[in-house]
């Protein structure tokens, strides 16, 4: 309460602005439904809101020649009189599309004026050859993570069926897209590969290149594996309470870094009774990391990866919870740096509990900020004054003038252009992170200011 | 040009007062336009001989349907000259339960402004008859955008109508900071208990920092005229009630005060003020 009062008084004094990291709920919902194959998305809103859908498009590696995105392009007339008629007309015009389902997403305007998209879809369903799935995800309902939860909840309630028959050693993967690694598909690929090596079948992924029929089978999964600390927990809870799909690997950080990966893989092995395989995977992975570093850490250009320079350096972690929480142990144990500030972009209760348990177990006492915005990050950086930041390109600018010499860009948005998916999960992920750290460490000598001085 | 708005609790008699006021102002030789800001579109019924005129938003929708915009609307299609010479406009709005009536009212007012309706007809006084209550930001749009410059609160001696007027005063207080808008007075549309009304309403007006302008008596003449779709000034020009409306018009035109109201903050204070004037 005191904090709220303090924030309000700062706003009134003009001392605080909110500069959010995240998009709104519509973006999260779009990010989710675009992961379902052979479907189209119709945004019921003004045309600017459809831009959010377009930005979610690439996040799911969707393809313009396969996936249609439509928009009702609401104008003043529809805000005054309601846009149900226009929505109905647009759906009828889309009926020629060769798709299995049309996801209808709402922006803020139509929900504020009371458009009932569920009723419109129900009324039209008999005249449309594909499934109509309305999702009420107005931007004001929260962040993109809330949008993911809303979309998953709606889709599961509409499409999943309860099956008593379980597929032995099977899982469904939840919310891989709620991950600020700009090439999160690399993380998902590692998870799928690891599961496959352990003989565990993936029944469905919610969502990435998911077939609509996967939702029919979802209750046949023995367990669910949540791949995000930012979103998807509600879907996991729904699956366990309504469809008897057990949640596994709960209350532990995702597999980033040596210890986290070991713990996560061994937990999977224990649950599916393949401990031997799990131990073998861990041993092989650790050996691969050690061998690679021994052979390649001395680069061809003569630059070496010298982690001793980072030893006990005070660090700030500014990230989403999915990457940020596991980074704490990776940074502290593997890199031997000291996290002194942790700012997370969300505040899911289970994620907060996981982080606080981790921090306590490691004997750390960092300042923690949940649901952070850029203003709060800069203020906290100024207060804590770490020597290094693990963050994004936003923090590269936010640290200007604060005397913080190093920034490692690990989460979205980042300057690095990637075509190949690079995961942070698992043993390959450790090498990817070390590569990033080394490149950004060298990059510090290439500041704009230094180049300018060198030239003139 | 004077821009006058009538606000008050739903069913309190805003349209009746607005129409009779328009008629009385017309008799004074002024060019008057009455603008109904309510999807119910019945503000100008008494001026238009008991019929409902087409609305601005309806006409706008028709133009949009054939791919045109508001500039394709002719003022003749949305401004109707009543037999008395008063210009009548109805904003219109959405069906109940959908859309945004507040946004609709603003759209209609914007269209009138863009089409230069006031300049075209040489209007001296525009009277806005605003829907029921300030229930959301949208209903406050006529104030926020500076259309409603002189605001009159219509209420009776009933406690809930005073309570509603006080709430509207809160909205005016918030919005008046932006510009020329202000509260110009309280007009009582009597519920029959004139003794109480003549005591309590001047005190209430004083506490808001405004004037008590006039009391319109509860009268079968007014009700009969309403059924016939006529104003009292027109239908029964020699009646005592017509004289009162003429006096009201005179007072409104002479009233140049417009203040940022100071509403009663606590319900209990309003109750205490009301209770003081109830018969023991």
Which chain A residues touch B64 with a CB distance below 8 Å?
75, 77
| pLDDT tens by residue, B63-98 | 887 777 778 888 999 999 999 999 999 999 888 888
Average pLDDT of chain B, as a whole number: 90
HEC secondary structure over B109-172: HHHHHHCCHHHHHCCCEEEEEECCCCCCHHHHHHHHCCCCCEEEEEECCCHHHHHHHHHHHHHH
Least reliable range by pLDDT among A53-62, B135-144, B205-214, B218-227: B135-144
Q: What is each CA distance from B184 to A287, B3, B101, B154, B157, in whole angstroms?
A: 84, 11, 25, 11, 19
Decide whether A25-159 matches A170-269 in CATH topology: yes
Q: Does B98 touch chain A if contact means CB atoms closer than 8 Å?
A: yes
Count the residues in chain A.
Answer: 456
Q: Does A266 touch chain B (CB under 8 A)?
A: no
Q: Which helix (H) or strand (E) holds A284?
A: helix A275-296
Instruction: Tell me how far apart the alpha carbons of residues A23 and B121 are, in angstroms, rounded to a whole number.
Output: 49
Range of lowest pLDDT (A341-355, B40-54, B173-187): B173-187
Q: Is the pLDDT of residue A110 over 50?
A: yes
Q: Given a cut of 90, is residue B39 above it in pLDDT?
A: no
**Cis peptide upstream of residue A170 (ω within 30 degrees of 0):** no
pLDDT of residue A390: 96
pTM: 0.84
Domain map (residue ranges) of chain B: 2-277
Work out the pLDDT band at A15, boundaries 50, 70, 90.
Answer: low
Q: In this predicted structure, what is the pLDDT of residue A295?
A: 85
Residue A30 has pLDDT above 80, yes or no: yes
Q: Indicate if the alpha-carbon torsion angle A32, A34, A37, A43 is positive or negative.
A: positive
**Segments making up each domain of chain A, as ranges:** 25-159, 170-269, 304-451
Right CATH for A170-269 from 3.10.690.10, 3.30.70.20, 3.40.50.1980, 3.40.50.970: 3.40.50.1980
Please give the pLDDT value at position B143.
78
What's the longest Cα–Cα distance across chain B?
66
Q: How many CA atoms lie within 13 A of B264 on its CB side?
A: 19
Residue A85's alpha-carbon distances to A81, A82, A326, B93, B101, in angstroms, are 10, 8, 48, 16, 17
The hierarchical CATH code for the domain A304-451 is 3.40.50.1980
Looking at per-residue pLDDT, the higher value among A15 and B194 belongs to: B194
Given the structure tokens 């939840």, which residue do they identify? A174
Phi, psi angles (nearest 5°) of residue A222: -75, -35
- List C-alpha distances in Å: A73 to A79, A189, B112, B227: 11, 37, 25, 44
A330, pLDDT greater than 60: yes
* CATH number of the structural domain A25-159: 3.40.50.1980
Q: Output DSSP code: residue A330.
A: I
The CATH T-level fold of domain B2-277 is Rossmann fold (3.40.50)
Q: Per the CB < 8 Å rule, is B57 touching A114?
A: no
pLDDT in tens, A372-385: 999 899 999 999 99
Residue B104's pLDDT is 86
Q: How far apart are CA B220 and CA B241, in angstroms?
A: 10
The proportion of chain A whose per-residue pLDDT surpasses 90, expressed as a percent, equals 77
Among A415, A395, A413, which Cα is nearest to A405's?
A395
pLDDT attached to residue A311: 86
Distance CA A451, CA A292 (A): 33
The residue of A81, A84, A87, A88 whose CB has the most chain B CBs within 10 angstroms, and thus the best one to mutate to test that interface, is: A81
Say yes or no to pLDDT of B225 above 80. Answer: yes
For residue B94, the chain A residue with the least C-alpha distance is A81
How high does pLDDT run on average in chain A? Answer: 91
Q: Looking at this predicted complex, what is its ipTM?
A: 0.73
User: Token digits for B140?
Assistant: 């406050």
| Cβ-count burial A138-173 (b if 16+ within 10 Å, e if not) | bbebbbbbbbbbbbbebbbeebbeeeeebeebbbbb
**pLDDT at res. A255:** 98
Using the predicted structure, report yes or no on whether residue A200 has a pLDDT greater than 60.
yes
Mutate one of B61, B69, B100 to test the A interface: name it (highest A CB count within 10 A): B100
* Residue in B with minimal Cα distance to A111: B99
Distances (CA, A) of A46 to A70, A138, A151: 11, 12, 20
Q: Which two tokens stand for residue B55?
A: 């609305």
Predicted confidence at residue A456, as pLDDT, reads 46
Distances (CA, A) of B234 to B18, B44, B138: 14, 14, 34
Q: Would the pLDDT of A271 be above 90? A: yes
Q: Assess contact for A40 and A68: CB atoms under 8 A.
A: yes
Pairing type for strands B2-8 and A101-106 reads unpaired
For B228-253, the pLDDT digits (tens) are 889 999 899 999 999 999 999 999 99
Of A22-26, B27-31, B42-46, minimum mean pLDDT range: B42-46
Look at A77 and B97 and tell me if their CB atoms are within 8 Å: no
Say yes or no for a CB contact (<8 Å) between A79 and B98. Answer: no
Q: Does the structure show a pLDDT above 70 at A294? A: yes
């Amino acid at each position: 309460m005191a904090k709220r009062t303090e924030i309000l008084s700062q706003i009134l004094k003009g001392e605080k602005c909110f500069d959010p990291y995240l998009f709104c709920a519509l973006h999260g919902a779009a990010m989710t439904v675009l992961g379902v194959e052979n479907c189209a998305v119709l945004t019921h809103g003004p045309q600017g809101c459809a831009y959010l859908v377009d930005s979610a498009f690439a996040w799911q590696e969707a393809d313009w020649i396969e996936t249609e995105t439509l928009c009702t392009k609401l104008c003043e007339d529809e805000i005054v009189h309601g846009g149900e008629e226009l929505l109905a007309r647009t759906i009828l015009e889309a009926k020629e599309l060769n798709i299995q389902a049309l996801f209808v997403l709402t922006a803020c305007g139509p929900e504020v004026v009371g458009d009932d998209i569920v009723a419109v879809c129900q009324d039209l369903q008999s005249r449309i050859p594909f499934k109509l799935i309305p999702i009420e995800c107005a931007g004001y309902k929260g962040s993109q993570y809330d949008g993911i939860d809303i979309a998953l909840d709606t889709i599961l309630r509409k499409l999943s069926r309860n099956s008593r028959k379980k597929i032995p050693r099977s899982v469904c993967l939840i919310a891989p897209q709620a991950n600020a690694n700009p090439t999160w598909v690399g993380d998902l690929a590692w998870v799928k590969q690891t599961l496959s090596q352990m003989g565990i079948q993936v029944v469905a992924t919610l969502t990435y290149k998911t077939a609509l029929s996967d939702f029919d089978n979802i209750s046949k999964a023995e367990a669910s594996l949540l791949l995000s600390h930012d979103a998807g927990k509600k879907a996991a809870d729904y699956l366990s309470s309504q469809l008897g799909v057990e949640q596994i690997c709960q209350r532990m950080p995702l597999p980033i870094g040596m210890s986290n990966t070991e713990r996560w893989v061994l937990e999977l092995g224990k649950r599916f009774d393949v401990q031997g395989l799990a131990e073998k995977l861990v041993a092989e992975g650790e050996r691969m990391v050690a061998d690679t570093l021994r052979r390649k850490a001395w680069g061809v250009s003569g630059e070496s990866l010298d982690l001793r320079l980072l030893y006990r350096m005070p660090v700030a972690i500014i990230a989403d919870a999915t990457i940020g929480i596991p980074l704490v142990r990776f940074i502290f144990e593997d890199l031997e740096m000291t996290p002194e500030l942790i700012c997370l972009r969300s505040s899911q209760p289970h994620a907060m509990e996981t982080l606080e348990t981790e921090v306590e177990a490691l004997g750390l006492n960092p300042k923690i900020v949940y649901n952070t915005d850029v203003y709060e990050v800069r203020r906290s950086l100024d207060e804590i004054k770490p020597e290094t930041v693990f963050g994004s390109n936003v923090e590269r600018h936010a640290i200007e003038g604060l005397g913080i010499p190093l920034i490692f860009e690990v989460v979205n948005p980042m300057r690095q252009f990637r075509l190949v998916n690079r995961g942070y999960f698992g043993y390959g992920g450790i090498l990817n992170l070390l590569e990033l750290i080394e490149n950004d460490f060298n990059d510090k000598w290439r500041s704009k200011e230094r180049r300018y001085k060198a030239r003139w | 040009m004077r821009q006058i708005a009538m606000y008050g609790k739903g069913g309190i008699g805003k349209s009746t007062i607005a129409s009779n006021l328009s008629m009385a102002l017309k008799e004074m030789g002024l060019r008057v336009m009455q603008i109904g800001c309510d999807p119910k579109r019945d503000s100008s019924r008494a001026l238009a001989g008991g019929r409902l005129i087409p609305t601005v938003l309806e006409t706008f929708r028709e133009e949009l349907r054939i791919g045109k915009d508001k500039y394709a609307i002719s003022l003749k299609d949305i401004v109707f000259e009543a037999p008395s010479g008063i210009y009548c406009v109805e904003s219109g709005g959405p069906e109940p339960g959908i859309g945004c009536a507040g946004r609709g009212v603003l759209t209609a007012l914007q269209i009138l402004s863009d089409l230069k309706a006031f300049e075209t007809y040489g209007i001296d006084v525009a009277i806005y008859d605003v829907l029921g209550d300030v229930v959301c930001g949208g209903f406050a749009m006529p104030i926020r955008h500076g259309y409603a410059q002189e605001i009159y609160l219509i209420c009776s001696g009933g406690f809930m109508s005073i309570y509603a007027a006080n709430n509207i005063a809160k909205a005016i207080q918030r919005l008046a900071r932006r510009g020329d808008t202000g509260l110009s007075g309280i007009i009582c549309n009597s519920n029959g208990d004139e003794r109480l009304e003549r005591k309590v309403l001047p005190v209430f007006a004083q506490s808001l920092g405004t004037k008590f302008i006039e009391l319109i008596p509860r009268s079968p003449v007014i009700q009969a005229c309403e059924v016939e779709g006529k104003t009292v000034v027109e239908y029964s020009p020699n009646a005592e009630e017509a004289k009162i409306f003429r006096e009201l018009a005179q007072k409104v035109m002479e009233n140049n005060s417009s203040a940022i109201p100071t509403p009663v903050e606590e319900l209990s204070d309003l109750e205490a003020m009301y209770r003081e004037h109830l018969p023991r």
